[in-house]
Amino acid sequence: MKNTIYYSLIAGMIVIGMSACDSFLSQSDPSSFTKDNYYTQPSHAEAAVSSIYQDLRSVRGGGFGGATWLMTEFQTGIANTELGQATNSLDIRQLDNSAANDYGETYWESYYRGIANANEAIANIPDIQMDESEKNQFLGEARFLRAYYYFTLVRLFGEIPLILEPVGLNSEQLAPERSPVGDVYNAIIEDLTWVEQNSGLPFNNQSGRVTMGAVKTLLSSVYLTMAGQPLDAGAEYYQLARDKAAEVINSEEYTLFDSYDDLHSDATENTGEHIFMVQFEESIAGHTGLQSVTLPYNQDISVLSAETGGIYVQQEFYDTYESGDKRAEEKQFYFREFTRATDRTDTIDVGNWYIYKFFDTETHLSSAQSGRNWPLFRYAEVLLIYAEAENEVNNGPTPSAYEAVNSIRRRAEIPDLSGLSQAEFREAVWEEKWHELSYENKLWFDMVRIRKAYNLETEEFDDYVGHSFVYGPTLTERELLYPIPADELRNNQNLIQNPGY
């Protein structure tokens, strides 16, 4: 079911930029809206919150030169590209990243814009005369989205400005300093626990808006991250992660799809395995960038005008799937055969394995338009969070931990795990995550959290620092964070660059 949230910004009340010298300034609209006449009606609350969703989309489009979501994919060592002019991707893949990379700038600018919009909504919606339950739901959505944006930014850049109030012309936060990582995580937890306790959000629905299931899923991921690096909060947070994941599992609101085809079907969006998705609608906010960037370069298999080869599967990673793993079969998670657009009776081998998880068949066969949603959280991830955390809490795998990971393996038609020690089970869950959540913007964050990288030759986990990708470059401590974008450093003298950049 498609969501039809309109992601229009509220003129005159929303912060619209972060990289120019007017960072954090509210822009005046020459038409009508001011602080005196806006945030006075329930419709204003809805529009304000809807605007916050917009920047979920900003990093997940795509263009001829690549797409921002590729930033973390090319620092895992499992992605390749055919696009020689995609310097943003190529520099990261070779671990030659810099503060001038456009991907980092887009993350920073768009997610802080989303935070600014959330701050406006959270500050002003409480004063609107409207139904209290509806008001709390809108505030819950705004706080969830602010937490999500901060959770992404703090993992990408480390210490970052923590801004929780609207910023005006006279605010001290026009040039904010970086805040300790722990303070950012505390703010994330405060937002999400407020939503749990006060918002009254439904546990699950098909609207595409934030639900309580999404809130608890994000909390489980935040707690698991806090248990690991860089905070190293340990046992208490593994238990919190386990408990939140268990609440999602025990709700019985979500289930694994029987078929991998349902991962990229219009009919199943916002249902079943999909806990929370970035919403696209062909007639309102459609996009073909995701489709173009995941196609083989100029192989004439799509009616799209651009087939960019922006990302495809590193062969050595594909080879790590177990024999018989259904995910590695043709047109399950990946593909290397398709028909030519000029002759649909002619099936060709495109030469490498390309990502099929997001493939929009109608787009490529006929429409040249796409409204394919992007999955931010799948139920499979919740099961893997639960399995990993349960193993740590109990100093070894329990039956419920085995069941969580084995349900994913059974769908893949590979044998159940059994008889493993705590250390063996821990790495087995990590490996399952690599194979199940590949190319979904999850793995690099896990690499930093566990300080490990998956060795494609030994199929074991190396220390992150010192791990060499199969094509040569070696990770250093520098690559535990991305560089603060150059424009932000120029515009704010209070920002200090991350080490090594």
pLDDT tens track for 215-228: 999 999 999 999 99
Instruction: Taking residues 352-367, report their average pLDDT.
Output: 96
Whether 264 contacts 301, CB under 8 Å: no
pTM value is: 0.93
Other C-beta atoms lying within 10 Å of the C-beta of residue 164: 15
β-strands 312-313, 274-278 pairing: unpaired
Query: For 239-267, how does the pLDDT look when each residue is reduced to its tens digit (9 = 90+)?
Result: 999 999 999 999 999 999 999 999 999 99
pLDDT band (50, 70, 90) for residue 62:
low
CB-based contacts of 409, cutoff 8 Å, min separation 6: 415, 416, 417, 432
Boundaries of every domain in the chain = 1-179+467-501, 202-282+377-450, 288-370
Are 1-179+467-501 and 202-282+377-450 in the same CATH fold? Answer: yes
Report domain 202-282+377-450's class: mainly alpha
pLDDT tens per residue, range 456-474: 999 999 999 999 999 999 9
3 C-beta neighbours (distance < 10 Å), count: 18
Quote the mean pLDDT of the chain: 92
| Cα(92)–Cα(58) distance, integer angstroms | 20
What average pLDDT does the segment 155-181 reach? 93
166 contacts 26 by C-beta, under 8 angstroms: yes
pLDDT at 14: 40
- What's the pLDDT score for residue 403? 98
**What is the structure's pLDDT at 36?**
72
Sign, CA dihedral 219-236-436-185, equals positive
Spell out the residues 6+ positions from residue 20 whose beta carbon is closer than 8 angstroms to its own.
491
Topology adopted by domain 1-179+467-501: 1.25.40
pLDDT in tens, 95-118: 999 999 999 999 999 999 999 999
The owner of tokens 């503060």 is: 99
In the predicted structure, residue 32 carries a pLDDT above the cut 90? no
Mean pLDDT of 138-147: 98
